């Protein structure tokens, strides 16, 4: 009973926090809404009327209108529009000509509020005492919990990678003979590893991932990518300590990993 109450308390946080709603909407796909219940979208743009939203949540039209009125700024930011006059006539014509004709819009309609799929989900975050809305919030909580587990797993792998990178740096410092080129050894080995695993150097990866100069490139890698880097750096550290040259190490890595990837 206590666990059920805790779950209920958690899912109601969505109704209270605009920040949480926006962060969640920015982070997830809305496709799960279609799996919970079929949505007869008006157009290929996947927009719906307030009546269709009410049908989806099996609630009154007034309930939907009240939520929109109280949180109008949020829905406008989602792309909500109100059609009247010529715009409404053109929209009606578009619906009639298209293959998606779920519910005919009455010829007597003089104003029509159109909501995006994002808004359809937002309604579910805001609506209380509604079975479908509760299902949606619980679904979002389950995603959040899984994401948190994945985030912790990534963080652990990131720390392991930092430890291994320090070991490689230490090996370079200890085993590579002193010369005017030694200061370039670490970035050269790093670029070698990136080229073997990803086909390009650090500068190109930074550009492709839109990572700023002062930000850590490795924070942009996935857990599996970090694991691959750690594996190769472990090998490089061992080979450096065994006095293999840069060219020898490069060839050994190519033989092992490029053929493996192919």
Report pLDDT digits (tens) over 208-244.
988 888 888 999 999 899 999 999 999 999 999 999 9
Q: Copy the structure tokens of residue 85.
A: 């006059």
For residue 124, what pLDDT band results from cuts at 50, 70 and 90?
Answer: very high
**Residue 167 to residue 234: CA distance in whole angstroms:** 8
Report pLDDT digits (tens) over 29-67.
888 898 888 888 887 788 999 999 999 999 999 999 999
**Residue 44 to residue 101: CA distance in whole angstroms:** 11
Overall pTM surpassing 0.75 (yes/no): no
**Residue 233 to residue 238: CA distance in whole angstroms:** 9
Contacts of 216 (CB under 8 A, 6+ apart): none
pLDDT at 239: 95
Contacts of 50 (CB under 8 A, 6+ apart): 61, 64, 65, 68, 113, 115
Q: HSE-up of 9 (CA within 13 Å, CB side)?
A: 6
Strand order in the sheet with 111-115: 48-49, 111-115, 81-84
């Amino acid at each position: 009973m206590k666990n059920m109450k805790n779950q209920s308390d958690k899912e109601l946080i969505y109704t209270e926090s605009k920040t949480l709603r926006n962060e969640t909407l920015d982070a997830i796909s809305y496709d799960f809404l279609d799996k919970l219940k079929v949505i007869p979208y008006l157009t290929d743009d996947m927009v719906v009327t307030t009546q269709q939203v009410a049908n989806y949540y099996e609630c009154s039209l007034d309930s939907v209108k009240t939520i929109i009125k109280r949180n109008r700024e949020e829905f406008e930011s989602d792309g909500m529009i109100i059609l009247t006059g010529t715009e409404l006539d053109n929209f009606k014509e578009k619906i009639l000509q298209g293959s998606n004709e779920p519910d005919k819009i009455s010829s007597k309609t003089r104003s029509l509020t159109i909501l995006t799929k994002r808004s359809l989900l937002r309604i579910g975050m805001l609506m209380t005492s509604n079975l479908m809305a509760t299902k949606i919030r619980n679904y979002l909580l389950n995603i959040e919990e899984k994401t948190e587990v994945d985030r912790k797993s990534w963080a652990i792998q990131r720390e392991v990678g930092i430890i291994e990178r320090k070991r490689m740096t230490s090996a370079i410092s200890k085993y590579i003979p002193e010369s005017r080129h030694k200061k370039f050894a670490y970035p050269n080995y790093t670029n070698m590893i990136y080229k073997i695993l990803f086909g390009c150097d650090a500068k190109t990866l930074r550009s492709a991932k839109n990572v700023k100069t002062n930000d850590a490139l490795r924070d942009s890698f996935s857990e599996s990518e970090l694991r691959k880097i750690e594996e190769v750096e472990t090998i490089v550290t061992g080979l450096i300590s065994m006095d293999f040259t840069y060219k020898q190490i490069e060839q050994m890595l190519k033989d092992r990993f490029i053929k493996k990837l192919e």
